Amino acid sequence: MDAESTALVPPPGCPAHGTGARIPLYGPEFAADPHAYYDYMRQFGATTAVELAPGVEATLVTDYTAALQMLQDPASFRKDSRRWRDLKEGRVPADSPVLPLLAYRPSCMFSDGVEHLRLRQAVTDSLARVDSRRLTQRTQQISDYLITQFSSRGSADLVGEYAKQLPLFVFTELFGCPADIGDRVLFGMSGMFDGVNAGKAAEVLVQATADLVTLKRTKPGDDVTSWLMQHEAGLSDEEMAHQLALLLGAGAEPLRNLLGNTLHRLLTHDQYAHRGGLISDALDDTLWDNPPLTNFLWHYPAGDMEFAGTKLGTGELVMVSIAAANNDRVLTAARQSGSNRAHLSFGAGPHACPSKEIARHIIVTAVENLLNQLPDIELAVPSDSLTWRPGPFSRSLTALPTRFTSVQAVQRPTTQQSRQESPAREEFVAPPRKSERGGLWSSFLSWLAK
């Protein structure tokens, strides 16, 4: 058998093997080695017929040039999922785990044209007001708080105990959530992306953001929620609630994955052994090779068309494989020449991520703080024993077990003066007892107030 015919063999364990069926983007086989699937898909051209979940069909764009063309052509490819043909015609299971993410909401991610411009401008202008110094300080404080939960133990799961929680905390703070609302926001975001009763979790998140809007109408603050509310775009309460749910959810889940995947890269690649000055490099390499969102950026053709050699029908679900496009051979030369930001991990075109600089800032700060406090941290298990969460959209580990020299906790400064003298670093502080009534955010706020 020659090399070309060998390349056409589906990855081991692929349920589509030899059947001509759509290639599934879920299950343990896909999670274990998605790039084997992408390599197989490329043999068929720029697009491939896939299944996102049982009964949910889509066309996946794996070619970088084709993906960029689609993302930059909002006239031909729309974002409003009320156009989704299969959903309108009842072919998508009502309990499908992908619906909480793909079903329409009145937010900039699901809008087109003038309406998208109005909502997007409000979001962009509000996020632009985030002060980088405040962001650094808050990220370090949250990082310190999380590290104190495991630093004296000498071991930690950096996914469950650090990467999963830190972005949730940072965004909850940036949006000015008080304790009770913050606890529900964290619950909603975690549940929606983890797929555990995702529909209920989405409801909790939207209701929490609606309550936050009601609060900020009467008590505005120095936070993204208040700035968004005060924007000249004049967002309604419903638009505010869904915009906040979008920003909180879309910010927290990708950042969770990006932080975990960057830490994974630092701990498993020899080139980062000394780590000094290499955190930004590890972050960029992760965005290229192991992006936090692998298959996302959904669109719907505005009419029947031929695209990249494939016939697409009006309202057909088309999605970009960010991971496959980033590793397209056409980008090899650009990446080697130093064009390190040409990847699609933050999207492109009118719907590109509006908070990519905030995201980079949070990740670099969180990684630096962790490595400064636990400089000898290392992987506690063989790297090939690590497992990845299944699912079509995200790329993240189920756990990242590590070990390090345990650190003795010290008492937290209790006066306002001592806090002002060391605003950016409050290391190795003994954690409080978790309130019986409060949740994660309440516990952090109690710790911060001491």
Q: How far apart are CA 158 and CA 231, in angstroms?
A: 38
The one-digit pLDDT tens for each residue of the chain (450 residues) are: 343 434 455 666 565 555 568 999 988 899 999 999 999 999 889 999 999 999 999 999 999 999 999 999 999 999 999 999 999 999 999 989 888 889 999 999 999 999 999 999 999 999 999 999 999 999 999 999 999 999 999 999 999 999 988 988 898 889 998 878 877 877 777 666 655 566 777 788 888 889 999 999 999 999 999 999 999 999 999 999 889 888 887 777 889 999 999 999 999 988 876 655 589 889 999 999 999 999 999 999 999 999 999 999 999 999 999 999 999 888 876 676 656 678 999 999 999 999 899 999 999 999 999 999 999 999 999 999 999 988 899 899 999 999 999 987 544 544 343 334 333 333 333 333 333 345 666 677 677 666
Residue in the structure block whose two tokens are 């290392």 = 378
Q: How far apart are CA 38 and CA 183, in angstroms?
A: 38
For the chain, the structural domain boundaries read 3-449
Alpha helices for 175-276 (secondary structure H):
179-194, 198-218, 224-230, 237-268
Report the CATH fold assignment for 3-449: Cytochrome p450 (1.10.630)
Beta-bridge partner residues of 295 = 321
For every residue of 28-67, DSSP letters joined together read: HHHHH-HHHHHHHHHTT-SEEEEEEETTEEEEEE--HHHH
User: Which residue, among 75, 78, 79, 42, has the nearest Cα to 60 in the 3D structure?
Assistant: 42
Tokens of 253: 């889940």
CB-count burial class (<10 Å; 0-12, 13-18, 19+) for 95: exposed
Contact indicator for 167, 186 with CB cutoff of 8 Å: no
Query: H or E stretch including 442?
Result: helix 440-449
Q: How far apart are CA 450 and CA 345, in angstroms?
A: 39
